[in-house]
């Protein structure tokens, strides 16, 4: 029987038993596994809602961290103690590996493939949640119905947003992904699908949630270069009174930035330029916290401590990002409710940084680099600014040339092998 695992943690039960082997005959059924055919009642909605949120957590940190590694924010080097993951080296090298110097084996990357599979599960769980709550008698709807609709549409939209932003079929091609064995759904169509989900969520949202959704819609338009629509939605987006939308973690279900790009088991270090930012303005340490990585040899590198505990949440979107979108859109000629300079300085003031006297698009690019560090935003920004890097471990004694065609994480080889439509 097909099952769906919907639990924040895998439950490990250690049983201490004697010589009597009858211990297993009288046990309660598992509580973290349920047959999908049985999850159809209104009483099941909180369980299903939590399952979607948990899968978002395990997906968002993996996809975001790997995209930052593919970009020029994070770097992998074996000069760091216990940095041994070949899949991370492969991603940082954009497809280059010892046996695949041309990047031809990039679609067989285990870390990227695992994240891609989890993203598919997130999309499926969110869509099943909508299917389930839609089949219930609307005349008996409760607050759980409202939350189920909001969660299903929001997270289904986020899954499609991540497909469009982070995954692609081939080097040098457009982003996107198939869904359930379909042909490729490229980024433009996938962003449109994401916006449709976000728009559907608005009917079930509070005022604050609606502003979050508007910011998410604005981001999709911004990434597509549709500045007019981006401006419309960013103007109705998050304000400084709004808390960020976040993915959540725990000591057992850890934040992947903490685990493998932080103090957990360091694999990935920050690009050298972040230390240069701090050298230029010591106050930047407030939003760019780092500590020395444990080195074997070579240039001293640093790991992020933005997430210095296993359970630290990760921003999916924040009012600060919305302000930086407004600033960029103003500079691109759109009419928005705040000046570019005021918007940027409002963000900087959160970190007690001095106000800037002027801004341009280059400054916006840099401010986004700093403010949105380790949130998965750098990869699309590099593509948008046509500012792709050609080396990794830049300005160190371990600098190497990378394979330059891949600027999306690859759709997995298993998906390619099982889907005749791609």
Residues 43 and 158: their CA atoms lie apart, in Å, by: 25
Range 48-68 average pLDDT: 97
Other beta carbons within 10 angstroms of residue 19's beta carbon come to 4
Which tens digit of pLDDT belongs to each residue from 168-206?
998 888 999 999 999 999 999 999 999 999 999 999 999
Instruction: Tell me which residue of 116, 156, 158 sits closest to 132, measured CA to CA.
Output: 156
Which element (helix H / strand E) includes 315?
strand 314-317
Residues 236 and 233: their CA atoms lie apart, in Å, by: 5
Which of 40-44, 49-53, 196-200, 354-358 comes out lowest in average pLDDT?
A: 40-44
What's the predicted TM-score (pTM) here? 0.90
Which of 30-39, 159-168, 299-308, 390-399 comes out lowest in average pLDDT?
A: 30-39
pLDDT exceeds cutoff 90 at 25? no
Which tens digit of pLDDT belongs to each residue from 109-120?
999 999 999 999
Give pLDDT, residue 400: 87
pLDDT exceeds cutoff 50 at 17? no
Which tens digit of pLDDT belongs to each residue from 331-377?
999 999 999 999 999 999 999 999 999 999 999 999 999 999 999 99
Take residue 69 and report the two structure tokens written for it: 């590694």
pLDDT band at 13 (very low <50, low <70, confident <90, very high): very low
185: phi then psi, degrees, rounded to nearest 5? -105, 105
Domain ranges of the chain: 37-418
pLDDT band at 105 (very low <50, low <70, confident <90, very high): confident
pLDDT band at 161 (very low <50, low <70, confident <90, very high): very high
Assess contact for 290 and 266: CB atoms under 8 A: no
Give pLDDT, residue 29: 46
Give pLDDT, residue 104: 76
Q: How far is CA 333 from the centre of its chain?
A: 29
Assess contact for 252 and 262: CB atoms under 8 A: no
pLDDT exceeds cutoff 90 at 293? yes
Which CATH architecture fits 37-418? Answer: Alpha Horseshoe (1.25)
Q: What torsion do the CA atoms of 51, 53, 54, 60 make, to the nearest 10 degrees?
A: 140
The DSSP output letter for 354 is: P
Instruction: Tell me which residue of 5, 55, 4, 14 sits closest to 253, measured CA to CA.
Output: 55
Range 292-305 average pLDDT: 97
Instruction: Tell me which residue of 247, 310, 212 sits closest to 61, measured CA to CA.
Output: 247
Give pLDDT, residue 39: 58
pLDDT exceeds cutoff 60 at 24? no
Instruction: Tell me which residue of 402, 390, 394, 389 sits closest to 299, measured CA to CA.
Output: 394
Residues 261 and 246: their CA atoms lie apart, in Å, by: 19
Range 124-135 average pLDDT: 97
Assess contact for 300 and 294: CB atoms under 8 A: no
Assess contact for 150 and 176: CB atoms under 8 A: no
- Which has more pLDDT, 418 or 97? 418
pLDDT exceeds cutoff 80 at 33? no
pLDDT band at 23 (very low <50, low <70, confident <90, very high): very low
> What distances in angstroms separate CA 408 from CA 66, 278, 383, one per listed residue?
10, 29, 10
Output the average pLDDT for the chain. Answer: 90
Range 366-393 average pLDDT: 97
Residues 146 and 131: their CA atoms lie apart, in Å, by: 13
Sequence-ordered list of residues with C-beta below 8 angstroms from that of 304, at least 6 positions apart, any chain:
257, 261, 262, 270, 289, 290, 373, 374
Instruction: Tell me which residue of 293, 296, 290, 272 sits closest to 391, measured CA to CA.
Output: 272
- In sequence order, the β-bridge partners of residue 100 are 97
pLDDT exceeds cutoff 90 at 103? no
pLDDT band at 11 (very low <50, low <70, confident <90, very high): very low
């Amino acid at each position: 029987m097909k099952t769906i695992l919907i639990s924040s943690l895998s439950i490990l039960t250690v049983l201490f038993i004697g010589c009597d082997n009858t211990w297993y005959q009288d046990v309660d059924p598992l509580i973290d596994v349920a047959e999908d055919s049985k999850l159809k009642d209104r009483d099941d909605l909180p369980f299903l809602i939590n399952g979607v949120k948990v899968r978002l957590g395990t997906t968002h940190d993996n996809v975001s961290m790997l995209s930052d590694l593919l970009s020029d924010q994070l770097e992998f080097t074996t000069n760091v103690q216990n940095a041994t993951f070949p899949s991370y080296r492969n991603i940082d090298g954009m497809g280059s590996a010892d046996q695949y110097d041309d990047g031809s084996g990039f679609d067989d990357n285990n870390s990227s493939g695992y994240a891609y599979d989890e993203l598919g599960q997130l999309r499926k769980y969110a869509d099943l949640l909508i299917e389930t709550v839609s089949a219930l008698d609307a005349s008996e709807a409760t607050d759980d119905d409202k939350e189920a609709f909001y969660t299903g549409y929001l997270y289904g939209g986020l899954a499609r947003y991540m497909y469009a932003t982070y995954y692609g079929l081939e080097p040098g091609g457009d982003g996107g992904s198939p869904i359930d064995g379909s042909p490729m759904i490229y980024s433009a169509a996938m962003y449109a699908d994401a916006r449709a989900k976000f728009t559907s969520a608005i009917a079930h949202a509070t005022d604050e949630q609606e502003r979050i959704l508007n910011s998410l819609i604005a981001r999709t338009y911004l990434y597509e270069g549709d500045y007019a629509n981006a401006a419309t939605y960013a103007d109705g987006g998050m304000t400084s009174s709004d808390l960020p939308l976040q993915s959540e973690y725990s000591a057992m279900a850890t934040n992947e930035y903490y685990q493998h790009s932080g103090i957990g088991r360091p694999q990935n270090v920050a690009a050298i330029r972040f230390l240069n930012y701090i050298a230029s303005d010591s106050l930047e340490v407030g939003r760019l916290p780092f500590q020395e990585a444990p080195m074997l040899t070579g240039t001293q590198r640093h790991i992020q401590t933005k997430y210095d505990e296993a359970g630290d949440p990760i921003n999916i979107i924040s009012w600060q990002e919305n302000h930086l979108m407004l600033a960029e859109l103003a500079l691109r000629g759109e009419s928005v409710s705040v000046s570019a300079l005021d918007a940027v300085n409002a963000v900087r003031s959160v970190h007690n940084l001095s106000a800037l006297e002027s801004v341009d698009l280059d400054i916006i690019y840099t401010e986004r680099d700093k403010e949105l560090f380790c949130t998965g935003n750098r990869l699309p920004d590099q593509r948008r600014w046509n500012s792709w890097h050609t080396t990794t471990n830049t300005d160190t004694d371990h600098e190497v040339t990378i394979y330059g065609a891949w600027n999306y994480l690859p759709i997995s080889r298993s998906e390619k092998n099982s889907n005749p439509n791609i």
